[in-house]
Structure 1
Amino acid sequence: MFWQIQKGSNGARADDTKGLKSAIIDWITSKGQSLNPHIPYNVKSSHGFNHERTGALLCPAGLDWANTE
């Protein structure tokens, strides 16, 4: 029984994060505009700190993303 509950929990978590990826890209992109460079919905390596826009949003408030190297 434990394994069935664990399997359901893992599946729900995967579904939630999968849906968030595309929702966040849509959320940070203004209507009628696109991100430059484009962020593909299905390529994880171009998300997070690897993209200028999402990196700036993830950067801690006390740091300046534009001046980090």
Structure 2
Amino acid sequence: MPFVVQVVGATGLVGYLSFRTGKSAIADLANQLIEEVSDRIYQNLELYLEIPAKINPKKLDAIELGFGEYD
């Protein structure tokens, strides 16, 4: 009987520690994924918002020179 109690106790302890370690690893991985997605969104948004800043000065030049539909 004492041997069975020791085996069950050791198995239970190992199972608990494995579960806890796995839970921690999943939380860490989820945080890394959230950071990666946030970084990519920021990069894409930054690129998207740069376009008008590049186009508007060219449109202003075209208006000032009298080209196109801006006459």
TM range (shorter): 0.3 to 0.5
> TM-score normalized by structure 2?
0.41
Larger helix proportion of the pair: 2
> Which protein has the larger Cα radius of gyration, Structure 1 or Structure 2?
2
Larger relative contact order (C-alpha < 8 A, sep ≥ 6)?
Answer: 1
